[in-house]
Amino acid sequence: MADVSTFGFTRRGLLGAFAATMVVAAPTYSNAFGLLKGAGDIRRVRMYSGRTGESIDTIYWVEGEYIPEVLKEINHFMRDWRSGDTIKIDPRTVDIMAAAHRLMDVSEPYMMLSGYRSPGTNAMLRSKSGGVAKNSLHMKGQAADLRLKSRSVGQMAKAASACASGGVGRYSRSNFVHMDCGPVRTWGG
């Protein structure tokens, strides 16, 4: 039986992830990469979209290399579902999502609420909500809004924050967490 803390992490998962970061010398981008190096020679992302009905469960990095064809699939999956527009998703964002997912030790895929947003979509959402940034990193392909049924917003935010690799926004009332590869910062409640 797994030893699950109140944060939803298993002790073995946390110890393994943190032990891996201790062995990794000078991660190339951030702590997220150090955490992922502990995952072995592969990186995997699992998501589904309630908006499009699509799912993705794929290995996008093997033995130190991103797989370009798979990154293109991720770009398409994370497109602006309202307009159909795509952009190159920053792989660092995918790395942060994968590292946080690994820390939570879950098999459930993320539900992606928002990946890329075209400027038009962002402006429309901004006109309806004060919580949408004018210069959102979603418009640069550097952010995702995610949800898990088996983990709370607090648990997801703690896992993403543990990566110390970008922005983490808690949206408890809407039940999702924003993860991005911008400057390290946190907000929300």
Q: Which residue has the tokens 């995952």?
A: 39
* 126-163 b/e (C-beta count within 10 Å ≥ 16 → b): eeeeeebeeebbbbbbbbbbbbbeebbbebbbbbbbbb
pTM tops 0.85? no
Q: Is 80 exceeded by the pLDDT of residue 25? A: no
- Look at residue 4 and tell me if it is in a domain: no
Kindly report the average pLDDT of the chain as a whole number: 84
Cα–Cα distance for residue pair 146/109, rounded to 1 Å:
10
Task: Please answer whether residues 60 and 96 qualify as being in contact, where contact means their C-beta atoms are separated by less than 8 angstroms.
Answer: no
What are φ and ψ of residue 144, in 5° steps? -145, 145
Could you report the per-residue pLDDT of 125-161, keeping only the tens digit for each?
Answer: 999 987 888 999 999 999 999 999 999 999 999 999 9
Amino acid of residue 130: G
Q: Give the residue-averaged pLDDT of 28-37.
A: 50
pLDDT of residue 75: 98
Is 172 a residue whose pLDDT tops 90? yes
Range of the domain at 115: 11-188
Residue 13 reports pLDDT greater than 80:
no
pLDDT band at 37 (very low <50, low <70, confident <90, very high): low
What is the number of domains present in the chain? Answer: 1
| CATH number assigned to the domain comprising residue 182 | 3.30.1380.10
Q: Are 173 and 154 in contact (CB under 8 A)?
A: no
5 located within any domain? no
* 6: in domain: no
Tens-place pLDDT, residues 42-98: 999 999 998 999 999 999 999 899 999 999 999 999 999 999 999 999 999 999 999
Please tell me the predicted confidence (pLDDT) of residue 143.
98
